[in-house]
Structure 1
Amino acid sequence: MAHSERPEPAAVPTAGQLIDLFALATTAYFQDFAAVAGQHGLTSTQAKVLILLREPLSMRGLAEQLICDASNVTGIIDRLESRGLVRREVDPTDRRIKYAQRTEAGDEAIRRVRADMQATQRVLADLGDDDRIALAGLLRRLQGTLDQPS
């Protein structure tokens, strides 16, 4: 490029184009996530529950996070509990409410899944520090905005 030539400014993407890019990126992530979860004997939903349980959640809270019926959550938690990956605890103030909590084995299982996500790890490793900081900031803003009721 000659000294006087300037690069063309990037076109500002439309909301639709950003949605498409976000969908493509998340689809690739979830394909990697599901494949690796399966290698560890977990369904993608079971692995997602382990991620969500970084802190104890009520069964109803899990159902809301998973956007499913509470009866489905019971089966998922039953299977994870039988493998020692989660445990249930009764709310001391209201015995009708049960909380699910990740165990140390559950912590280790989701740590291994994340570590083995080679496609995702490779893409993120290729980002420079400034890009990682920018991406983390944008994702936090998106999460905060999307978590608010409309």
Structure 2
Amino acid sequence: MVTTARRDPLTLEVLELIGTVVARYHEEYDQAASEHSLTGAQARVLSLLSLEPMPMRRIAQSLKCEPSNVTGIVDRLEARGLVERRPDPADRRVKLAAPTERGRATAALLRDSLDFAREPLAGLSEQERTTLRDVLRRMVDRFDD
């Protein structure tokens, strides 16, 4: 059944369209990051931390990379005053990476500069955007299965 779905023309077209959206997202994200003298990886970590402080291991899990890679990225962000390390209130042995005020402001500027989907999404009705969101959530939820 899965093999048939992989060869289904509709599924292949959807995959191509998703690939196009993802490629465009990464292109604009990397461009926005470079405008702030950040790498794409640094910008992704900063954006993730702007949602909530977290330990290196959890950042690595979220970004699907090695914790040692995250340590280097956080070191560079910390050197620029965008991130700080602080003890986890729940377990003082654990260090959390957290954005500074400057880091939060930079993350907001990054988010605001990602225009690629705003115009196409604005052309969809609220119901269409809701449907798209719901379908994408279902897909993301299946990643954990």
| TM bin (shorter chain) | 0.7 to 0.9
Alignment of 1:125-140 (within 5 A): 125-140=122-137
More helix by share: 2
Q: Which residue number in structure 2 is paired with residue 105 of structure 1?
A: 102
The one-letter code of the counterpart of 1:20 is E
The one-letter code of the counterpart of 2:22 is T
1:121 paired to 2:118: yes
Report SS of the residue matched to 2:116.
helix
* 8 Å Cα contact 1:85-1:103 kept in structure 2: yes
Tell me the matched-pair count.
137
1:34 paired to 2:42: no
Give me the whole-angstrom Cα distance separating, in 2, the residues matched to 1:15 and 1:82.
45
- Residue 143 of structure 1 deviates from its aligned partner by 1.7
The structure 1 segments of at least 4 consecutive aligned residues displaced by more than 6 Å after TM superposition are: none
Q: TM-score, normalised by structure 1?
A: 0.79
Deviations 1:72-119 (A, max 9, x none): 111100111122222112235655422111222222112111212233
**Residue identity (%):** 39
Larger radius of gyration: 1
Q: TM-score, normalised by structure 2?
A: 0.81
* 8 Å Cα contact 1:49-1:62 kept in structure 2: yes
2:52 to 34, 51, 55: 55
* 8 Å Cα contact 1:32-1:120 kept in structure 2: no
Distance change (3 Å), C-alpha of 1:79 and 1:25 = same
Give me the whole-angstrom Cα distance separating, in 2, the residues matched to 1:102 and 1:21.
34
Report SS of the residue matched to 1:57.
coil
The one-letter code of the counterpart of 1:56 is P
The one-letter code of the counterpart of 1:36 is A
- Residue 130 of structure 1 deviates from its aligned partner by 1.9
Root mean square deviation of aligned Cα = 2.0
